[in-house]
Amino acid sequence: MNKLVRAKISALGTYVPPRVMTNRDFEKIVETSDEWIVSRTGIRERHIVDKGVATSDLAVEAAKAALAERGMGPDGIEAIVVATVTPDMLFPSTACLVQHKLGTKGAWGFDLSAACSAFLFGLQTGAQFVATGTHRKVLVIGADVMSSILDYTDRATCILFGDGAGAVILEPAEDDSGIFDFVHEIDGAGACSLYMPGGGSLHPSTHETVDKKMHYVHQDGQSVFKFAVKKMAEVCETLLTRNNVKASDIDCFIPHQANQRIIQATADRLGLRPESVIINIDRYGNTTAGTIPLAMQTAREDGRLKRGDLVLLASVGAGFTVGATLLRWTI
């Protein structure tokens, strides 16, 4: 067994498709209003792919941006983890498609399914490969084309989500910076609170499953909301306590962007400094596995995430899946 080393994020790249869909656009297709959407969720607009653009396309653009920031070509990447709930196809994995489109030689990889916590689960998975010394460069991508599984006649779900991707490169840290602890949980008791029932082995696609709209996102919004508010704060508290970190020590809190009210409630409960809380849901909606890297990018662009900052990441998603990560920012 090699001595464990800490993994660090050495580059970040993000991508959203150019087409923007505003709340006003939704007013034309479902019974809703800009005022309702903004007050209940914080969302003002989201980016949506054009027909024929898939998750791997977004993932590749984000990966290219990360490689460019690192100043390297695709060949040094040893493993590719694609976190997604909207793979291009059930198989082959989107990781294979990304590897091929990027032209990465000699890499292996796989998809990781954990819905809105998938980026954090992927980050930790990649970090373990680096920690054991078996890998020196792992590409972790969170990418989703949520518009491909939304029912645009269901006002309670279609307004929430957008399409987008983010990618990071993980490498060994030379010092005690980088990713240093995490808390993850899954709770399948919540499986039917947020799910896509059709198209899997339980309900393979048929005319009937399509007629019943089983190939779309189904959600019990209130139970997801309650679980998220409780759990996001809970795992963060556990993580902070066992690392002797006070909420006021956190320079940057980068949560999954599902609902501004969930983020605010978590930040309030933890006692985080308001200026440390990163929110960009107004611009992107919930891009599922894309939200956290997209929010990292927003934080950087706003000058609110700098090298050496103590960063807390947190997520709750379908499953239920729950994650929190503590790291010292390294780029």
Q: Which residues are catalytic?
A: 116, 256, 286
In the list 85, 224, 278, 326, the residue contacting ligand COA (rule: CB under 6 A) is 224
Pick from 101, 155, 184, 218 the residue near ligand COA by CB under 6 A. 155
What count of other Cβ atoms lies within 10 Å of the Cβ of residue 137? 22
CA distance 18 to 45: 12
- Of these, 102, 140, 159, 312, which contacts ligand COA (CB under 6 A)? 159
Q: Cβ closer to ligand COA: 220 or 309? A: 220
Give the nearest distance from C-beta 207 to ligand COA in angstroms: 28
- Give the pair of three-digit tokens for residue 246: 């006070």
- Binding to ligand COA, residues 86-145 (CB under 6 A): 116
Stretch that binds ligand COA, among 50-58, 182-190, 220-228, 304-312 (CB under 6 A): 220-228
* Distance in angstroms (rounded) separating the CA atoms of residues 326 and 78: 24
Amino acid at 322: V
Of all residues in this chain, which one has the CB nearest to ligand COA in the complex?
A: 221
- From the list 30-38, 105-113, 181-189, 206-214, the region that binds ligand COA by CB under 6 A is 30-38
Beta strands in the chain (DSSP E): 7-15, 20-22, 45-47, 79-83, 108-112, 138-145, 163-172, 178-186, 194-195, 218-219, 252-255, 310-317, 321-328
One residue of 1, 18, 52, 222 binding ligand COA per CB under 6 A: 222
Cβ atoms of 140 and 83 closer than 8 Å: yes
User: Which of 259, 266, 297, 325 forms a contact with ligand COA (CB under 6 A)?
Assistant: 259
- How far is 237 from 314, CA to CA, in rounded Å? 11
Strand partners, 55: none
Asked whether position 41 contacts ligand COA by CB under 6 A, the answer is: yes
The partner residues of 75 in beta bridges, in order of sequence, read none
Nearer to ligand COA, 13 or 87 (CB): 87
∠ CA(87), CA(195), CA(283), 5° rounding?
Answer: 70
User: Which region among 32-40, 58-66, 74-82, 302-310 touches ligand COA (by CB under 6 A)?
Assistant: 32-40
Binding site for ligand COA (CB under 6 A): 32, 36-37, 40-41, 116, 155-156, 159, 194, 221-222, 224-225, 228, 258-259, 286, 317
